[in-house]
Amino acid sequence: MLICISSQGPDLDSQVDPRFGRAAQFIIADTETGEAKAVDNKQNLQAAQGAGIQAAMTVANAGAKALLTGHCGPKAYVTLNKAGIEVYTGCNGTVAQAIEDYKAGKLQKAAGADVEGHW
Amino acid sequence: MRIAIASGKGGTGKTTAAVALARVMGSCVLVDCDVEAPNAHLFLNPEVQNTQDAYVMIPEVDDGKCTGCGECSRVCQFNALAVLGKSVLVFNELCHGCGGCVLACEPKAITEGGRLIGTMQWGKAGDLDFYDAKLRIGEPMSPPLIKALKHQAELSEAENTILDCPPGTTCPMVEAVGGADYCILVTEPTPFGLHDLNMAYQTVQELGIPAGVILNRAGMGDDCIQNYCKANGIPILLEIPHSREIAEGYAAGKDILSSMPSLEDGFKKVINTISEGLNNG
């Protein structure tokens, strides 16, 4: 299964980016094979509004079924939910560690947004 | 002739000046464009004859016709549409009503709906045709309502229009001032008045609208406004004295010509100066 992690850098050793919509990059990781690739989020860093919505579409288009991130705002959550993507907030540390925590079932699924937009 | 009354800084006396100018002109249109906090009616007690809701266009998507091509989302500069498979999520509060998505949608799955942004009302206050509008609570965008209100006021048969504009120098002020033949900037002789006059003057210059100043509360503060106007060649059309009489009248909801009738000549001169200036090109 493909999962997405908001990341400050392009590889598994990068730190999880606590921001979702304006994360530096997204790492799309395959939980079965361990393969991972980075997807750029540059176009959203300067967006005046709606960065979370666009980021959610990027995650959906990459085929991910779960998102691991620090925080998630209301519009991003609605979009991810509509796309059938599970959201896990409160992640930190490295991307690799977040993936391990997810696989070990240590992460708690978010039932809604945990911050306001533009937090 | 369309005269806009703007200021930059809030509370300098825009509405006071707008009401006085409308009164000395006699029959004209007064449009209170400050739709976030309209209050010219407090001085005028107009008899409201009509009310009308104002809407902005929002996209309505027919999921049955949507092919999921994503073109609407790509064309939207405000990120108001998310396309997920063959369903489209619309975030109405992000939509600016430009209609780009309607044009971009090849299968014609998007039609124009409406989102209520406020309510306009108009009627008579003596000889004046009075117009104002209230922005819906929670609505972030006032310019579409100001535009609709000005459009409505154009249907009046009166020849001259006074536009009482919102404070600031951003989109609402630009929308309100737009299309005016002349802009009066009301200010006060304080550092705050000067700072915001400078911003407002630059804005109307950018819009290509000739401008002059009404200096309110003249006598308090210093000569900063006179010096600024002299240096920039901006006419000071009128000085309203800093006076307890005017403040007491204002606090009782009286317009300035009732509290200080001697100002009537001054306001008449303002109108004459502007109309002569415009007629002489």
User: Residue B108 has what pLDDT?
Assistant: 96
Which residue in chain A has the smallest CA separation from B83? A57
> Global pTM?
0.79
**A21: distance to nearest CA of chain B, Å?**
12
Task: Give the one of A49, A56, A60 whose C-beta lies nearest to B94's C-beta.
Answer: A49
Q: Return the higher-pLDDT residue of A119 and B35.
A: B35
User: Residue A44 has what pLDDT?
Assistant: 87
Mean pLDDT of B104-123: 96
H or E, element range at B222 = none
B80/A57 Cβ within 8 A: no
Chain B partners within 8 Å of A65 (Cβ)? none
Residue A47 has which token pair? 């967006």
User: Residue B280 has what pLDDT?
Assistant: 84
B72 pLDDT tier (thresholds 50, 70, 90): very high
Task: Give the one of B79, B85, B87 whose C-beta lies nearest to A53's C-beta.
Answer: B79
Mean pLDDT of B81-95: 91
pLDDT in tens, B266-275: 999 999 999 9
Strand order in the sheet with A25-30: A36-40, A25-30, A2-7, A66-68, A86-88
C-alpha span between B141 and B226 (Å, rounded): 35
The count of other CB atoms within 10 Å of the CB of residue B244 is 8
Q: Is the pLDDT of residue B85 over 90?
A: no
Mean pLDDT of B116-145: 95
Domains of chain A listed by start with CATH number? 2-103 (3.30.420.130)
B89/A50 Cβ within 8 A: no
The count of other CB atoms within 10 Å of the CB of residue A18 is 17
Which residue, among B81, B84, B95, would best test binding to A if mutated, counting the most A CBs under 10 Å from its CB?
B84
Q: Is the pLDDT of residue B117 over 80?
A: yes
Strand order in the sheet with B211-218: B47-61, B110-125, B128-135, B29-32, B161-164, B2-6, B182-187, B211-218, B236-241
Residue B154 has which token pair? 């154009």
Domains of chain B listed by start with CATH number? 2-54+120-279 (3.40.50.300), 55-116 (3.30.70.20)
Task: Give the one of A47, A75, A82 whose C-beta lies nearest to B84's C-beta.
Answer: A82
**A80: distance to nearest CA of chain B, Å?**
9
Which residue in chain A has the smallest CA separation from B74? A54
User: Residue A77 has what pLDDT?
Assistant: 97
CB pairs under 8 A between A and B: 37
- Crossing angle between the packed helical segments B191-206 and B224-232, to the nearest 10 degrees: 20
Q: Are strands B110-125 and B128-135 parallel, antiparallel or unpaired?
A: antiparallel
Q: Which of A29, A23, A31, A22 is nearest to A7 (CA)?
A: A23
Q: Is B42 helix (H, G, I), strand (E, B) or coil?
A: helix
| Spans in chain A with pLDDT lower than 70 | none
- Crossing angle between the packed helical segments B264-279 and B14-25, to the nearest 10 degrees: 80
Least confident piece of the model among A39-53, A80-94, B55-69, B155-169: A39-53
Which residue in chain B has the smallest CA separation from A53? B82
User: Residue B213 has what pLDDT?
Assistant: 98
- CB proximity A47 to B under 8 Å: yes
ipTM of the complex as predicted: 0.85
H or E, element range at B35 = none
Which residue in chain A has the smallest CA separation from B78? A49
- CB proximity A65 to B under 8 Å: no
Chain A partners within 8 Å of B83 (Cβ)? 57
Angle at B146 between CA B144 and CA B149, to 5 degrees: 110
The percent of residues above 90 in pLDDT, for chain B, comes to 92
User: Residue A32 has what pLDDT?
Assistant: 94
Chain B partners within 8 Å of A83 (Cβ)? 84-85
B82/A82 Cβ within 8 A: yes
Q: Say if residue B50 is exposed, middle or buried (CB neighbours under 10 Å; 0-12, 13-18, 19+).
A: exposed
Q: Is the pLDDT of residue B281 over 70?
A: no
- CB proximity A38 to B under 8 Å: no
C-alpha span between B91 and A50 (Å, rounded): 9
